[in-house]
Amino acid sequence: MPANDNIPLENVRIVFRNFEGRPDKFNPNGDRSFSLVLDEEKAEMFEKLGFNVKRKPPREEGDQPFNHLKVKVSFRGRPPRLILVTSKGRTTLDEDTCDLLDYTDAENIDLIINPYKWKNPKGESGVSAYLHAIYLTAHEDVFMRKYSDIPEIGQVPGQLALEKGFIDVEVISDTEEDFE
């Protein structure tokens, strides 16, 4: 598989989100990652490409097996493109703001995986999935849409915060010469 054979996937579901890189029981080093949920067809495709697909049997009779692929989110070298889409437009996130993706309910997720072939000194090899780009469309409830045109307090240019409330101000001059 050539190094630039990125894999685009539309309308996917992700679980175990950790864009922030919080250390926990399953991630003591605090690596950034998430898991991509795969149907049986996609799970087989990724396994044939050399990825380590995790498979869990159905919990109850009649349920589907739970297949998922861990996708790493790395900002070393070339950072991934992280786009949060709302009804007001899109926002590009970075290393400091990508944790928003951990808590945003998704209406739709499109992403691109960058496969990375690896081989260790013991001769073991495989393919790791790295995030190249993600476009997460946020689910907005009826009130988020209703009030989306109202600016947030403190976010409007020319508005100063006071101890209790805000006042609007107009800057007439910002040089010392005007006050002499």
Distances (CA, A) of 14 to 10, 76, 109, 163: 12, 22, 8, 42
**Domains observed in the chain:** 7-151 (2.40.50)
The answer to whether the Cα torsion of 67, 135, 142, 154 is positive or negative is positive
Share of the chain above pLDDT 70, in %: 83
Q: Which pTM does this prediction carry?
A: 0.78
Alpha-carbon distance of 76 to 16, in angstroms, equals 21
pLDDT of residue 156: 57
Confidence band for 41, pLDDT divided at 50, 70 and 90: very high
pLDDT of residue 65: 87
